[in-house]
Structure 1
């Protein structure tokens, strides 16, 4: 039986251009037999018509803190029945409000009242996402059990490429399934995970490396994050997207990986070393490209 089947899922939609993707999220949740209760902030309605979500969810969209029946507080009713709450897109504004206990609309009051797991899918400009205030709010929420998926790197609303694009609906729903099945036995713990190969440059265009895909390290990092741990993933060059909810650092050489591990290990409870680190590197790196010569042999000196 699927993790979402017959589960009450609250889907919060906030004011972002990525709100149009929320319709696909609701459709995918319904396809997995979830019971979906859409909640929209006032600004979200400027980007997506409530009727769209209502038709896809087969449930009325909650827009106000109180229903017409003043004896019934909507936020308490929804908070009690929820098996999980997904906020997608999650703007910097909504993340800041939740992190600081502000409850001034139907979505924030519901989140504060519910005991169900909450998953947020950030969507914003890369400069906003990289802002230290926003990052502090994310760290604060993760520390008390809130889950995050994304954001991804890609084209943003202003046409530039950067980190801040909302994760695609299919991956968000898959992450929600993992959250529903996850355990928090690593909550409050921190781990460093290394993954992928390293590259040791010979000159400006050539390097020594290996065939490591990084898949094991990325899977371990993802599993640790899903179980509540704070994960620092240090990865050599791979074609993989960083797992959701981890602190990611890209390195190239064995020396760079060693430096980053030394920098991060002091804050960790443990380390998982799954990277395929080069044992040897060229003794000397040419500043330019090594030219082909008439000599039959090329002698290369390697050092540890």
Structure 2
């Protein structure tokens, strides 16, 4: 099984880390523990030493294990679990601070890091905490969202740490997901394209890139190599050794860049919202408004269809496209499925509340040839991305 470092910070939920260590040991994992000074007000290092039969990391200067114990633990680790993760430790991790043994070891480790936050609901909802959590997600840290329940203060609120049994289940799922797509390369487009009218103005759309980012993150979590071709986005893509990001502006640039990587890809996920038309002529200088002018006519020409072009060229690749519609969702998506040579179309009605551009959720329907449409409930875009990657993984598994 795996080598798991459990890092314990100060919280009333600290006692639950003891139960978690026992559960993980029963599952066959090798466990070592690091503790912040605050955590030792709730549980002593002797408790974890008795369970693990390993020295507990508590001080940057202790030398009972090695001359540099926090680095030794960081290098030993295959998965780092921060349980509980206090608001203070979350802030340190988000900002790269390292003023004690735990924060220093977490900064040094190359292992994946999973956090189970625990704090008062007001601390959890504070903009600073939410900002820090967003940074940790960008850093590819896995956040186990706390539950709503009875808090230490005697009232119900969000911030109660996930129970040890559920944390252990999440660890199991994470290990099962690892390397499912090792050896696969997934090509993902994200964001919107822009077509210039003049040096100042352009034709664009409302795409934020959130859905494309969710697909990229899910693919990386499953061990795939990812090539992301991105237009205009409102989100930040992570730094990851398995991720190559290529930035483009126009639909023609996105087609050329995507086509250049298509042959070596095992799947194409077209989550970008591309401009279907572009101005026939782009003005060299800003178009000036004339006093007597009440109208401006711009002649548009059709852009190349990236999904149809690459779908027609597919060989071994799985091709998945998106259909953002405002009416006749299934009819329009079925036409796209056939005309664009796609294996899957992910259809969403962007006129619905909570679905579409710029929001954190989506309600999609999956279409594929000779199958009835599969409507999914309203989900976070992260969950949609994970489900889409699961579709690819199952298809490759079935083809073996």
Q: Distance in 2 between matches of 1:225 and 1:68?
A: 37
Question: Could you say which residue in structure 2 is the equivalent of 1:200?
Answer: none
1:118 partnered with 2:113: yes
Q: Say what the alpha-carbon RMSD is for the aligned residues.
A: 3.4
Q: Residue 16 of structure 1 corresponds to which residue in structure 2? A: 11
50-59 vs 92-101, greater mean Cα deviation: 50-59
> TM-score, normalization: structure 1?
0.63
Structure 1: segments with no counterpart, 5+ residues: 193-219, 231-256, 278-304
In 1, Cα distance between equivalents of 2:72 and 2:121: 36
In the other structure, the counterpart of 2:211 is 191
Alignment-derived partner of residue 77 in structure 1: 72
Q: How many residues end up aligned between the 2 structures?
A: 217
Report Cα offsets for 1:253-297 as digits up to 9, x if no partner.
xxxx922224xx2367986344469xxxxxxxxxxxxxxxxxxxx
Alignment of 1:19-168 (within 5 A): 19-68=14-63, 72-168=67-163
* Structure 1 residue 66, shift from structure 2 partner: 2.4
> Contact 2:20/2:164 (CA < 8 Å) preserved in 1?
yes
Given the alignment, which residue of 354, 370, 382 partners 1:260? 354
Say if 1:9 and 1:82, in contact at 8 Å, map to a contact too: yes
Structure 2 gap segments, 5+ residues each: 191-208, 224-234, 236-350, 366-374, 379-400
- Displacement of 1:69: 5.7
Tell me the residue number matched to 2:394.
none
Whichever of the two has the greater Rg, that structure is 2
Q: What's the CA shift for 1:119?
A: 0.2
Q: Distance in 1 between matches of 2:34 and 2:47?
A: 12
Match of 1:297 in 2: none
Partners of 1:132 and 1:225 in 2: CA distance: 28
Shift of residue 226, structure 1, vs aligned partner: 5.8
Q: Deviations over 1:8-32 (max 9, x none)?
A: 1100000100000000000011101
| Cα distance change on mapping 1:163 and 1:226 into 2, 3 Å | farther
Cα separation, 1, equivalents of 2:65 and 2:111: 25
1:220-231 equivalences under 5 Å are none
| Separation in structure 2 between the aligned mates of residue 89 and residue 165 of structure 1, nearest angstrom | 10
3-state SS, counterpart of residue 354 of structure 2: helix
Query: Secondary structure of 1:76's partner?
Result: helix
8 Å Cα contact 2:77-2:111 kept in structure 1: yes
- Tell me the TM-score normalised to structure 2 length: 0.49
Distance in structure 2 (CA, Å) of the matches to 1:226 and 1:164: 25
Change (3 A) 1:36 1:161: same
Asked if 1 retains the 8 angstrom alpha-carbon contact of 2:11 and 2:86, the reply is yes
What is the deviation of 1:177? 2.3
Structure-1 separation of matches of 2:12 and 2:139: 28
Give the Cα–Cα distance (whole angstroms) in 1 for the partners of residues 159 and 222 of structure 2. 24
In the alignment, structure 1 residue 182 sits paired with structure 2 residue 178: yes
